[in-house]
Homo-oligomer: A and B are copies of this chain.
Amino acid sequence: MADNRQKLTKIALSKVQKAGLRGLSFRTLADEVGIKSSSVHYHFPEKADLAQALIEQYSAAFTSQLETISAGGGSLMRKLSRFMDVIESVASSDSVCLCGMLAAELESLSAENRYALKRFFADMEDWLAREIAAHQAELSTSLEPHQLAKVMVSGVEGALIVGRVHGSTEHLAAQRTVLANLLRFEDRT
């Protein structure tokens, strides 16, 4: 089937979010799809090609969700709350953010993989900074939007990784609470 490529990326994404790229072998991946590892190499010649496909797919889906949030309008509180919803949705069942996981494995990634990773984090930061700047009047702080955005990016990635160790989502929840505290007004949307 031609859609085995899709099955591969789908299963691989879930596996890498749990065990990392190193924790995924072409053999076990092939087994789960019901083909042989050599067939996986047909779709993705090298492991770095699979990783690249995962990052690009994941980034595109993420960006698309952020655009939906922007288009939905409303207060900054509403937007940031929905941003946290998106982050939370990837945290289920022993998984962390794909790119947070790969960032930990940075040393074993190809140059192309690394560049795509950089872009993912930069895009997230830029989106946050843009939204914050557009709603600065709602903020109870005069900190630079990009400073706040950097803290948020670090915060959610760290919360996913550390939270998983404790088997809880309390770190993400704390992130939400502190975030809300930075806002001058309550959510009225």
Contact = CB atoms under 8 A, between A and B. Distances in A.
B150 A104 contact: no
Given A22-B23, A103-B161, A143-B177, 11 more contacts: A20-B105, A100-B104, A104-B104, A147-B178, A151-B171, A154-B154, A154-B156, A154-B162, A154-B171, A157-B162, A161-B161
Given A23-B107, A108-B23, A143-B177, A157 B166 contact: no
Contacts of A117: 165
A114 interface: yes
A65 interface: no
A105 B143 CA distance: 34
A150 B166 CA distance: 12
Interface of A is mostly: helix
B154 A175 contact: yes
B107 A104 contact: no
Contact of A106 (B143, B147, B165): B165
B148 A178 contact: yes
